[in-house]
Amino acid sequence: MTPVLVLVGPPGSGKTTVGRLVAQRRKVAFRDTDRDVEVAAGRSVSDIFVDDGEPAFRALEAEAVATALADHDGVLAVGGGAVLDSGTRERLRSHRVVFLDVGLTDAVDRVGFAKSRPLLVLNPRAELKRMLDERRPIYLEVADATVITDGRAAADVADEIAALLERPS
């Protein structure tokens, strides 16, 4: 079993929203590894960050991604920082991966000051900029295709991805 699609990108890129739409159109299940981590830990991502620290969260995330890549056959969205793990990057090489690329202004508008995103609590704009700068090359490395989400409705992004999925990989 393997996902029909894996979505990667920073917070605010639309992985969950777009992923659900693509899954509905393909008539497959949608799965988000951040949610998998929360279910496995019995706590929110924010609580894991606060109580156990980022390294503990990243270990749970890497495990959740490995499990989902092995047993999910729908659309999979992985957490924004999942690609920081070298094992995850290696696992993604054998999957169809789309990078949802978003600029700083749109990402800030979409994320706002969400307390559910622990890395963005203190200074969301500065932290998002740092993330985008640091992670963009990694997203590009693991992705088979890049879809720009700036200024676009989720349905339009989902349409573009659906068209990509119709092409041979």
Angle between helices 104-111 and 124-142 (to 10 degrees): 120
Q: Which residues of the chain have pLDDT under 70?
A: 104-105, 107-125, 169
Tell me the C-alpha distance between 76 and 65, whole Å.
9
Domain 5-163 fold is Rossmann fold (3.40.50)
Per-residue pLDDT tens digits for 111-122: 654 544 454 555
Residue 75, phi then psi, degrees to nearest 5: -95, 130
Closest CA to 75 of 25, 125, 37: 25
Please identify which residue in the block is written with the tokens 């739409």: 21
Is the overall model pTM greater than 0.85, yes or no? yes
